[in-house]
Amino acid sequence: MPDQREILAALYGVWRLMRLDQSGMNWFNLTIEGFWRSFFAAIPVAPFFALLMYLDLSSNSDVTDMGWTATVVTVLYGLSWALVPLMAIGVTKMLDLSNGYVPLIVAYNWTSLPQFLLQTLVGLIGVTGLVSEVLSSFLILFVVVYVLVLEWFVVRTSLQTTTATAVGIVLLFETLGVFLRLATFSLI
């Protein structure tokens, strides 16, 4: 588990990356220990993930077995944190970018926190009716585009690769995420 200093440094690195500043990578622990510690980010992300899933599922009146639903969502959450790093092993080897694997996963893990925070805030704004449907749709679109740009920037910066390669990797990761969500909803 990372200590407070490492967490604060990582969060500052995240802030820099969110501003599309490559120097944000300098704030992460890019060692093997830092790689494993970056999975700590799953803990503060979990409530946002759970709330997003709740918002998605609350519109589905067919959900009756909350125990089964909670189990499936929990498994999805664990899989999402395991499959991206596993997939990245093959992708980085295939593209001869293995040197950037640890920085990629460290930055990807830590930057998941603001991504889920933004998605959750926009989801809550949408369901509370605080803004019009048009504005809510615009906010959702803005956050989706921003998250994709942030992921692209993290991939391009951490792997020190081309824009096209980074776009391809982001599309691959996002496709995996869509597949996991579809699988989850089919099991519920």
pLDDT 10s digits, 143-164? 999 999 999 999 999 999 999 9
* Across 82-105, average pLDDT: 96
120-148: per-residue pLDDT in tens? 999 888 888 888 889 988 999 999 999 99
More confident residue, 58 or 168: 168
- Residue 27 maps to a domain: no
What pLDDT shows up at residue 61?
60
What pLDDT shows up at residue 60?
63
What pLDDT shows up at residue 2?
93
What pLDDT shows up at residue 70?
83
- Residue 142 maps to a domain: yes
What pLDDT shows up at residue 149?
97
44-70: per-residue pLDDT in tens? 999 999 888 888 777 666 666 778 888
- Residue 34 maps to a domain: no
- Residue 100 maps to a domain: yes
- Residue 11 maps to a domain: no
Cα–Cα distance, 101 to 67 (Å, whole number): 37
Cα–Cα distance, 134 to 96 (Å, whole number): 44
Which domain does 105 fall in, by range? 42-187
Contacts of 23 (CB under 8 A, 6+ apart): 16
- Residue 24 maps to a domain: no
- Residue 111 maps to a domain: yes
Q: What value does the mean pLDDT of the chain take?
A: 92
* Across 63-83, average pLDDT: 85
What's the domain count of the chain? 1
Q: What is the DSSP string of 42-80?
A: HHHHHHHHHHHHHHHHHT-TT---HHHHHHHHHHHHHHH
- Residue 25 maps to a domain: no
Cα–Cα distance, 84 to 107 (Å, whole number): 12
* Across 22-34, average pLDDT: 97
Q: Tell me whether residue 167 is exposed, middle or buried, using C-beta atoms within 10 angstroms of its C-beta: 0 to 12, 13 to 18, 19 or more.
A: middle
